[in-house]
Amino acid sequence: MTDPQEVILQVEPGGRLHGQCRVPGDKSISHRAIMLGALAEGETRITGFLEGEDCLATLKAFRAMGVEIDGPEKGQVHVRGVGLHGLKAPEGALDVGNSGTSMRLMAGLLSGQAFDSTLTGDASLTRRPMRRVTEPLARMGARIRTSDDGTPPLCIEGGALLQGIDYRMPIASAQVKSSLLLAGLYAQGQTCVTEPAPTRDHTERMLAGFGYRVQRHDGCVCLRRGGQLQGGVIDVPADISSAAFFLVGASIAPDCELRLEHVGMNPTRTGIIDILKLMGADIQVENPREVGGEPVADLLVRSAPLRGVRIPPELVPLAIDEFPALFVAAACAQGETVLTDAEELRVKESDRIQVMAEGLTTLGIRARPTPDGIVIEGGQFTGGTVDSHGDHRVAMSFAMAALRAQTPIRIRHCANVNTSFPGFVQLAGRMGLNIQQQEGGA
Ligand SMILES: O=C(O)C1=C[C@@H](OP(=O)(O)O)[C@@H](O)[C@H](O)C1
Ligand SMILES: C=C(OP(=O)(O)O)C(=O)O
């Protein structure tokens, strides 16, 4: 694991984004491709795999449980599935670094195994809430110990007899839904999860794509144990959450025209486009197509004057990782942007409401955090030093802010950009951002 204390991004003001590029593979789909590929019969060949630290942590965890995995080599990964009952006890704790998705999904999966296991992570992950999965899993019969305050490490006892559950999630979380569905593969009877609002559905899609029977109706997903997963080919689209920085950057800076290729357009992920369009952004969806059960398109984005909006609450779960970038867009918009119903942002890799409000204020923008959101008044970025608090999405969002700043923006604690977007500095530089990475402390 890299030390998040050591990397600083320095971005000079101005610049324009121009040309075309493909951002790295979707993080959510890459995690699931390894997990389901490992549990499948036969081989799974993945292309476009995200070689970021989060997905590499998942890959290593499955290797540690005896799964043979070749790669990644230029986005290609080859997983030799061991079947639903073929995982082996790992030798030590499984360290999933910064990745909430790995920890929460694997908590469900490991609850159904015959062996004991322990999941740990880095300083950020060990502060994040895990009761949202451990409580319903315990109701299914899982035996999981956490720290007193419900945070990692998670110690999971093997050999538990799991019972299906009919669970109404109190929060809209794809990680909770997926965790319970993965446990459901091992539980007696039926496991049903109902969501209060639509969340990303990659787990359901991929299970079905691997030939597992999954029923879906009215916000509810159900499955039963006893099926088999059949390995296959997975083409991972570019991550719309990584494309988001460029959608915002090319909207706020003058004279930009950027084409983002092969972007995942799953309707449970496209809230960023809907919100930016409400703000007046010029984004065209070109050549829509379907690749391996997931919709994909090219996105053409051009500079446009943005206006502040009230963000419709139903779009919040559909853009949940894109709010740091959207806050930068809001800071460049005319008028006020109001976000509500987004308290989940406070328990991501950082408290994204607080950390973004602090950084925006440092850069001369009026930003008022509220318990479940933020109010941002459009203005002019000055420049200065902000702290990403080791949060990859905060770091990349402030990098884009420099396109409209008066003086350079210096962003501290940026090593975790590699968790979701390896090569960000190089790609953003090629597209026209005046960005440099400095190593070795402040
Ligand atoms: O299932 C997933 O792959 C993810 C779900 C979301 O988390 P929540 O389920 O906590 O909303 C999202 O923030 C995370 O980056 C990835
Ligand atoms: C919240 C995120 O990821 P995770 O929960 O997997 O750490 C993210 O990538 O923004």
Atom of ligand 2 nearest to the CA of 125: 7
CATH class of 27-235: alpha beta
> What is the Å distance from ligand 2's center to 266 Cα?
17
CATH 3.65.10.10 occupies which residues in the chain? 7-25+237-439, 27-235
Q: Is the CB of 122 under 6 A from ligand 2?
A: no
**Atom 10 of ligand 2: nearest residue by CA position:** 321
pLDDT score of 4 more than 70? no
Mutate to test the pocket of ligand 2, among 349, 352, 397, 424 (most ligand atoms within 8 A of CB): 349
Determine phi and psi for 337, rounding to 5 degrees: -115, 135
- Taking CA atoms, 102 is separated from 75, 119, 236, in Å, by 19, 9, 17
**Atom 5 of ligand 2: nearest residue by CA position:** 100
So which residues are the catalytic ones? 321
Atom of ligand 1 nearest to the CA of 176: 9
> Residue 5: its pLDDT value, please?
60
> What is the Å distance from ligand 1's center to 335 Cα?
30
Q: Is the CB of 53 under 6 A from ligand 2?
A: no
CB 358 within 8 A of CB 324: no
Q: Is the CB of 99 under 6 A from ligand 2?
A: yes
pLDDT tens-digit map of 324-346? 999 999 999 999 999 999 999 99
Q: What is the CA radius of gyration of the chain?
A: 21
Q: What percent of the chain has pLDDT over 90?
A: 97
> Residue 261: its pLDDT value, please?
98
| Mean of all residue pLDDT scores within the chain | 97
CB 32 within 8 A of CB 62: no
What tokens appear for 415 in the block? 């090593």
Q: Is the CB of 100 under 6 A from ligand 2?
A: yes
pLDDT score of 85 more than 90? yes
Q: Is the CB of 321 under 6 A from ligand 2?
A: yes
> Residue 292: its pLDDT value, please?
83
Ligand 1, residues at Cβ distance < 6 Å? 28, 101, 173-175, 178, 200, 320-321, 344
- Taking CA atoms, 93 is separated from 54, 56, 137, 152, in Å, by 16, 16, 20, 12
Atom of ligand 2 nearest to the CA of 321: 10
pLDDT score of 403 more than 90? yes
Binding residues for phosphoenolpyruvate: 27, 100, 128, 175, 352, 393
CATH class of 7-25+237-439: alpha beta
CB 177 within 8 A of CB 28: no
pLDDT tens-digit map of 148-195? 999 999 999 999 999 999 999 999 999 999 999 999 999 999 999 999
> Residue 6: its pLDDT value, please?
82
Query: What is the Cβ-side half-sphere exposure of residue 275, based on CA atoms within 13 angstroms?
Result: 33
Binding residues for 3-phosphoshikimate: 27-28, 32, 173, 175, 321, 348
Q: Is the CB of 52 under 6 A from ligand 2?
A: no
Running DSSP on this structure, what letter comes out for residue 359? H
pLDDT tens-digit map of 60-76? 999 999 999 999 999 99
